[in-house]
Amino acid sequence: MRNSRIHSRLRSVRRALTTGIRLCLATLVLVGPLAAVAVSVSEGGLMPKRGAGLVLFVSLQRQSMS
């Protein structure tokens, strides 16, 4: 009786792990090229900070340090 519970639990863990790995791979395959294009098109890194964006970034940094 106990062995059957352990085996069924292992089976469900394996299924969940397999499903999770498949979801991660599908996400990488579908979103990866879009992310690569977005990064290659942007100027000055992932998020260039100019104007109000720079002011917000600096103020949030100062606030987090105090």
Question: What are the pLDDT digits (tens) for 45-65?
Answer: 656 666 777 888 888 888 888
CA distance linking residue 50 with residue 66, whole number of Å: 24
Kindly tell me if the per-residue pLDDT of 37 is higher than 70: yes
DSSP state of 51: T
**Structural domain boundaries of the chain?**
2-65
Q: How distant, in Å, are the alpha carbons of 25, 42, 43, 61, 62 from that of 36? A: 16, 10, 13, 28, 31
Q: What is the pLDDT of residue 15?
A: 94
Q: How distant, in Å, are the alpha carbons of 12, 52, 53 from that of 40? A: 41, 24, 21
Kindly tell me if the per-residue pLDDT of 28 is higher than 70: yes
Kindly tell me if the per-residue pLDDT of 16 is higher than 90: yes
pTM of the full structure: 0.50
